[in-house]
Amino acid sequence: MASGTAGGAIDAARRRQTAVWVAREILPHEHRVRAWLRRAGAAPEDSDELIQEAYCRLAMLEAVDHIDSPYAYFFSIVRNLLVRRLKRQRIVPLETIAEIDAYHDDRPSPEQLAAGRLAYGKALDLIARLPERCRRIVQLRKIEGWSQRQIAEHLGTTEKAVEKQVWLGVRFLRQAWSQAEQDADDLMGEHEQRGGRRR
């Protein structure tokens, strides 16, 4: 019993630690990997799957502290997954696989990496775009630091109802991130020098 609980607590702490690291080092730059996948010819559903699988690899790590360049690490996982997927689809000629490395990713500069870590302004932006009730609850939870229970008492509702709004918030935020990514990608597409794939 003791070891099970302790193990669970350690797992939970490790998961959270990894999530904080991902939020800081990967999430702000995920759109660059997505843009690269698109140039390399991956369909949107495939991109979703590959990205999810790459996050899965990160989630399996015992620790992330030893990773010196998180973006490059994440990118190389996605790249390897794409290569593996192309190899499985026998119809794709070998040259196509070799070609994917010709589509350069927009590797973030050190300044962009530093900016990504401080992208709290963007997070506030995203909160502002939530539907009203959801936004109010997320603000109380994240900016004011109230617990879900305190929010429920304050709003005269149940904790389950608050939890549901948090759920909607997380879903919305995920979509908002990818929407923001889309915007960034469109912007980048205009300046695209090397043509990957016609759109």
Partner 1 sequence: MTGPVTGSGNRQSAGAIADEAAAWVARLDAEGWSAADEVLLEQWMAADPRRRGALLHAQACWVALDPPAPRARATVRRRGLFMAAGGAIAASVAGGFLWLAGGTTYRTEIGEIRRVPLADGSTATINSDTQIEVTLASRRREVRIASGEAWFRVAKDPARPFVVEAGQVVVQAVGTAFSVRRRDGGADIIVTEGVVQVWAAQADGYRTSLVAGQSAFFGDNAAVRISDGPPSAVDRALAWRSGAIDLSGQTVAHAVEDFNRYNRRKLVLADPRLAGEQIDGIFRTDDPEGFAKALHDSFGVPLDTSDAAAIRIGHANIVSDAEGTSSPMSLHQHGKETRP
Q: Site residues for partner 1, window 180-199 (CB under 8 A)?
A: none
Question: By three-state DSSP, how is residue 92 classified?
Answer: coil
If binding is defined by CB under 8 A, does position 115 make contact with partner 1? no
As given in the structure block, the two tokens for residue 189 are: 């597409």
Question: Count residues contacting partner 1 (CB under 8 A)?
Answer: 78
Q: Which is nearer to partner 1, 48 or 99 (CB)?
A: 48
Radius of gyration of the chain (CA): 20
In whole angstroms, the minimum distance from the beta carbon of 32 to partner 1 comes to 16
DSSP assignment string, 4-73: HHHHHHHHHHHHHHHHHHHHHHTGGGHHHHHHHHHHTT--HHHHHHHHHHHHHHHHH-S-STT-S-HHHH
Considering only 114, 182, 189, 192, the residue that binds partner 1 (CB under 8 A) is 114
If binding is defined by CB under 8 A, does position 118 make contact with partner 1? yes
- Distance, CA of 13 to CA of 7 (rounded, Å): 10
- Which residues 126-165 are close enough to bind partner 1 by CB under 8 A? 126-127, 138, 141-149, 159, 162-164
Site string for partner 1, 3-42 (x = CB under 8 A): xxxxxxxxxxxxxxxxxxxxxx-xx---------------
